[in-house]
Structure 1
Amino acid sequence: MSGYEMLADIKKLDEGYRASLTLTLASSPEDVWNMFIDNEKLKKWFDELQMLDPKEGGTIRFNKGDGTFEDLGIHEFEEQSVLAFDWFGELVKFHLTSDQANTLLNFTEEFRTITDQTAKDIAGWHVCLLVIEGLLDGPKVENRMSVWQPLYEKYKKQLAALRE
């Protein structure tokens, strides 16, 4: 199922919340994995990120766009399988599995509290996944904001329901 046809599943945990979304891609696990560790490919879907040291305990750098950078620690790294890193106090994880025909790309974000930023982040990651899907399997995302805005509105409603 295409990432356009679904929303992330957001669940309350004992401590915090977890948003998860899985895409089925026709591309090989190696091609999908390279989207995360090859900086030339990484900048096509998340220009502000740069992989500095791809290993557990390594670093991903976030360009804040104002001349400053934030180094984000890599918590889990398994070649062509798992990349998990700090996302400003939250945890973002990409997990790849494959069958004979497809690669499943599972994204999760774990967060402690729901803030005004939460829906923006989840919608942003969702768009990033759609961009990856488009780069690998087509069709390409032409206007990220036109995709992000309706997702953001849906995630705001989904998160508000969890707060009730």
Structure 2
Amino acid sequence: MKGTLHEINGRYALTFERFFSRPVEKVWHGITDPDCFNQWYPFSTGEMDLRVGGKFHLDDGEGSIYEGIITELDPPNIFAFREVDDWLRFELRSKGDGCLLRFTHTFDDRSMAARTAAGWHGCLEVLDMVVDGKPAVWPDNMAEWREKYAKEFNQKG
């Protein structure tokens, strides 16, 4: 799994595709259940109102708490939300004995692409652990991934 960067309507989008050896419903649970979400999404603070227009709170770790607002929900295939001006979309579909996750994060500041890609790379690794019922252990290779993505996206590391 590696993220790609592209442009959509004047904004930037990071897209990741990842295969999970679990059925769609299991991965859906990992993405949308608040207890699971809190393990792999580092800014989540707790409960989630799982409906279009539903909200959940996020904490940037620097003293700012803001809302995530669910913009699209089609269980067990699509979960999308807005986080300030960023748009995040998770799409699941069955594939063989498991499912394929296509995740897209749309944002404005291209200079943050490598850092954001490295962060999502780590989040999706931890999501894989959570879906497999393993303890969430954050990888210690984030600096390495930032450098790889910076090189790929022609940015400073």
Q: TM-score range by the shorter chain?
A: 0.7 to 0.9
Give the SS at the match of 2:141. helix
More helix by share: 1
Match of 1:23 in 2: 18
Aligned mates of 1:139, 1:51 — CA distance in 2? 22
Match of 1:153 in 2: 147
How many correspondences in the alignment? Answer: 154
Matched, 1:97 2:93: yes
Aligned mates of 2:75, 2:89 — CA distance in 1? 13
**Root-mean-square deviation (Å):** 2.3
Give the SS at the match of 2:29. helix
**Seq. identity, %:** 24
Shift of the alpha carbon at 1:135? 2.7
Give the AA of the match of 1:105.
L
Match of 1:40 in 2: 35
Give the AA of the match of 2:18.
L
Is the Cα contact below 8 Å between 1:24 and 1:104 reproduced in 2?
A: yes
Aligned mates of 1:28, 1:34 — CA distance in 2? 10
Match of 2:54 in 1: 58
Is the Cα contact below 8 Å between 1:130 and 1:141 reproduced in 2?
A: no
The runs of 5 or more residues in structure 1 that have no matched partner are none
Q: Which moved more, 1:44-53 or 1:76-85?
A: 44-53
Matched, 1:74 2:94: no
Shift of the alpha carbon at 1:20? 0.7
Is the Cα contact below 8 Å between 2:39 and 2:136 reproduced in 1?
A: no
Match of 1:124 in 2: 119
More strand by share: 2
TM-score (norm 2): 0.84
Shift of the alpha carbon at 1:68? 4.7
Is the Cα contact below 8 Å between 2:14 and 2:113 reproduced in 1?
A: no
Is the Cα contact below 8 Å between 1:114 and 1:159 reproduced in 2?
A: no
Give the SS at the match of 2:97. coil
Structure 2 CA distance for partners of 1:72 and 1:26, relative to 1, 3 Å: same
TM-score (norm 1): 0.81
Give the AA of the match of 2:58.
F
Aligned mates of 1:10, 1:119 — CA distance in 2? 9
